[in-house]
Amino acid sequence: MEYVLKINGLTKSYKNFQALNGLSLHIPKGSIYGFIGKNGAGKTTLIRLICGLQQPDEGEYTLYENLNHDPSIIESRRRMGAIIETPSIYLDLSAKENLIQQAKILGLPSLDGLEEILRFVGLNDTGKKKAKHFSLGMRQRLGIAIALVGRPDFIVLDEPINGLDPQGIVEIRELILKLNKEQQITVLISSHFLDELSKLATHYGFIERGRIIKEISAKELELACRSYIRIEVTNIHTLSRLLDSKHLEYSILSKTTADIYSKINISELILMLKKENCEVLSLQEKEESLESYYISLLGGKDHA
């Protein structure tokens, strides 16, 4: 698999606080990588490091095959766009004027394509309206437009839906999906809005106390979080034998309890068990969410 970013053992401390503790992470090319963790877990610190705003104490990372301590990392960072914490916007300038300023900062030889970027993020009709009069959602889209000025292959978004109303959240979600699917841009999204990330991400990294505790693809997570039926019976061996005869997928949890993952006719199963003198004590339909999966990774409800 080809990776845009590979991180190995990054450590970063501020006085007596260790923000990153040997963190390792892998972002596949073309992915939408959901970076999940509580406030203070180390998400923004990592983003600052890969953007070159700070340097790690230990460890290294590779961005487009260039190591962070090599001079060539500058070329790799030119292929990045980023919004860290809040968009860097000139409030007294229009949307287009903001993009022009960014183009000048990047030293671009031409201003061609700025109108196209504004159209892509849905701000092409704002004219001379100053950014200070934009809604929060419009400002967030303008921030993404600014990040697109250098035609990046990789965009980093730090908490992009914080404070947005439902309509603004939908707009940002659709924009991120367009960036990924239409522009083939790899996206790293740092967020603690798990439900929203589940509608976007192709891969996930879960961070806790400066370490990645799990990396998983969306397909793997779907299998881990799939719906199932938890059944408690008086004779687990009888249940197992009947499920095997039907070629159903299941797992035994205890001497009385099993989880059934295949679709089944519940009434038919109960009748079959009854004929075998096996009584059903309880039966529950369950489905693990991304949130409950995350909490279980952290060790249970005390971390919720």
CATH number reported for the structural domain that contains residue 271 in this entry? 3.30.70.100
Number of domain units in the chain: 2
Q: Looking at the structure, tell me whether residues 119 and 175 fall in a common domain.
A: yes
Q: Looking at the structure, tell me whether residues 173 and 252 fall in a common domain.
A: no
Q: What is the pLDDT of residue 299?
A: 67
Q: CATH number of the domain at 175, please.
A: 3.40.50.300
Q: What is the pLDDT of residue 139?
A: 93
For residue 304, tell me if it sits in a domain. Answer: no
pLDDT band at 192 (very low <50, low <70, confident <90, very high): confident
- Share the mean pLDDT of the chain: 90
pLDDT tens, 117-134? Answer: 999 999 999 999 999 999
3-state secondary structure string across the chain: CCEEEEEEEEEEEECCEEEEEEEEEEEECCCEEEEECCCCCCHHHHHHHHCCCCCCCEEEEEECCEECCCCCHHHHHCCEEEECCCCCCCCCCEHHHHHHHHHHHHCCCCCCCHHHHHHHHCCCCCCCCEHHHCCHHHHHHHHHHHHHCCCCCEEEEECCCCCCCHHHHHHHHHHHHHHHHHCCCEEEEEECCHHHHCCCCCEEEEEECCEEEEEEEHHHHHHHCCEEEEEEECCHHHHHHHHHHCCCCEEECCCCEEEECCCCCHHHHHHHHHHCCCCEEEEEEEECCHHHHHHHHHCCHHHC
pLDDT band at 303 (very low <50, low <70, confident <90, very high): very low
pLDDT tens, 263-289? Answer: 888 999 999 999 999 999 999 988 767
Domain range for 142? 3-222
Q: Looking at the structure, tell me whether residues 207 and 259 fall in a common domain.
A: no
pLDDT tens, 20-77? Answer: 999 999 999 999 999 998 888 899 999 999 999 999 999 999 999 999 999 999 989 9
Q: Looking at the structure, tell me whether residues 233 and 265 fall in a common domain.
A: yes
pTM over 0.75: yes
